[in-house]
Amino acid sequence: MEQYGLGPNGGMILASDLMVNFLDDLKEEIDEYNPDWIFVDTAGQLELFAFRETGPLIASALGFGDVQRSVSFLFDSNFVLRPNGFISTLLLAASVQFRFRNISQINVLSKVDIIDEDQIDMIINWSHDFQALADSTNEREKGLIRELSMLVSEVFVQMGSTSELIPCSTRKDDGLDIIFGHLQRVFDSDESKFY
């Protein structure tokens, strides 16, 4: 921030963009470990990674040879308890999937330890039954938000299913085995290296 005279947001954007200059160094460091798995945790703000040109470039460049890659998109369980929050997140997930075209995407319902089982079941049901989502939207939303949500949920009804939504809690280790199993199915091998 000091070097380029930027504020916090400009500094984070520039840091993300400058990372491209160090991809060869990063690849060398990663390769020294000869890892079975590589996890890259990116900034939570989508505009810093997914919606800038550098994000897909970094995701592609950090691959090694025949390494399989996957993107995980987190649905924050607090935010998706209402239909309009779920639909907004679903739109963001679809946007990320579109941006990272050729990389499989796993959608994860995060922080399930802070909501109850009925809420988890409701959200998971919305993820594969868009008619149930449309019905909940019709019942629980009002005014313009209801109308916009109904229109958007109808688009998802017409499109069909999206990626499976996997409930997960790192605090209790819930769902991590399901994510691992999903990655194995995506890559069709437990011997491959993953990104």
**Is the model's pLDDT at 50 over the cut of 70?**
yes
- pTM value is 0.80
Highest mean pLDDT range out of 110-119, 132-141, 159-168, 178-187?
110-119
Q: How many helices (H) and strands (E) does the chain have?
A: 9, 3
Burial readout 19-34 (b: 16 or more C-beta within 10 A, e: otherwise)? beeeeeeeeeeeeeee
Single-letter amino acid code for the residue at 5: G
Residue 35 — very low, low, confident or very high, per pLDDT cuts 50/70/90? Answer: confident
| pLDDT tens column, 119-148 | 999 999 999 888 888 889 889 988 998 888
Residue 190 — very low, low, confident or very high, per pLDDT cuts 50/70/90? Answer: very low
What is the set of domains in the chain, with CATH numbers? Answer: 65-187 (3.40.50.300)
| pLDDT tens column, 69-88 | 788 899 999 999 999 999 99
Contact 156, 130 (CB under 8 A): yes
